[in-house]
Structure 1
Amino acid sequence: MADMDPTGGLWNWAAAASLTADRVHGALAGALERNVGPLESGAPTLCDVYHVGGEFPTIIDVYLAPETIAESTAASAVAVRLEVEIILPDDTLDPAGYLLAGPDGSLTSVEVDEVETDEGVERRLRRERPAA
């Protein structure tokens, strides 16, 4: 979900560029102001980065994310640091509903098509969602 997650700790994003894990970890650490490392690192926040196809080929799974910052705020800050668009699930019940965090810090409601492949879920931007 895009706002405060009562379960605390799991964010799943996709970035519109092929990014290295080190670069993602650095941007996330800067945005959260805490150490971030790969799953086996034992860091306070863990982050798995892997690649699939589609318009958003870098998958960013964040574990043990802080409950004190909204997911959308963190994604926006990371998008600015990486200078890339990032999508994250929105807080609606629409499975195609996402937020698009822009490299300028903006947040836009969008719809995304997902296709399951052998390498993972590929995501493609469908369209901007009309304002409610």
Structure 2
Amino acid sequence: MTELWNWRIDRAAPVEVYPALAEALGRVVMPLAIADPVRLPTYAVVCDVWEAPGEFGTVVDCYGVPESLNEQRAIAALARLLDRNCLLTDDTLDAGRHLLVAPDGTIRPVHFDVTETDDGEVLTNQRLCTLTHPGCRGWSRCHRSRWAPDSVNPARAAA
């Protein structure tokens, strides 16, 4: 079985992202626009990278990722290679809550305001998920996550 990964990167040009993705994943990366399903190399991962408005406007979709690859390690490696902060969705199903992955491999929960536009979701107003914010206290979804408010975790094998 294969997986779909959806990430965001803080201001990285798509032409920089593809080779960094290949190195981070340890796989051949084929851009979606030119991927021919009949001629894909056995270990290829198909990726689409594009620019969207708002914060973390570089969007990355990876299709057909083997289950054997660890998403958190892969995005931590990508953040390090690009020297850029990256985002992945967390486990709360809250559209505005993400995991911020820094180039040093640390992962922490953050919130954004999310606005739906014709160009997709626009993220603005980044803020840490912290108990000092009223929306992260009490019975919030943040407490149901394995990434609790104020948590900072290393991504193993990121360096």
Structure 1 length-normalised TM = 0.85
* Shift, 1:34, TM fit: 0.9
Contact 1:88-1:98 within 8 A present in 2 as well: yes
Contact 1:110-1:125 within 8 A present in 2 as well: no
2:98 — aligned with what?
98
Q: Deviations over 1:1-53 (max 9, x none)?
A: xxxxxx63211111110412x32111111111110011132351011011111
2:45 — aligned with what?
45
Q: Which blocks of at least 5 consecutive residues in structure 1 are unaligned?
A: 1-6
Please give the alpha-carbon distance, in whole angstroms, between the structure 1 residues aligned to 2:129 and 2:69. Answer: 25
* Aligned partner of 1:12 among 6, 17, 35: 6
Aligned residues: 125
Q: Which has the larger radius of gyration?
A: 2
1:79 — aligned with what?
79
Contact 1:17-1:58 within 8 A present in 2 as well: yes
User: Higher RCO, 1 or 2 (CA under 8 Å, sep at least 6)?
Assistant: 1
3-state SS of 1:9 partner: strand
Contact 2:47-2:62 within 8 A present in 1 as well: yes
Q: Which runs of 4 or more aligned residues in structure 1 lie more than 4 Å from their structure 2 counterparts after TM superposition?
A: none
1:32 — aligned with what?
25
Counterpart residue type for residue 74 of structure 1: A
Aligned-residue Cα RMSD (Å) equals: 1.7
Q: Aligned residues: percent identity?
A: 39
* Shift, 1:125, TM fit: 4.5
Q: Which blocks of at least 5 consecutive residues in structure 2 are unaligned?
A: 131-147, 150-159
Tell me whether 1:114 sits opposite 2:114 in the alignment.
yes
Counterpart residue type for residue 23 of structure 1: E
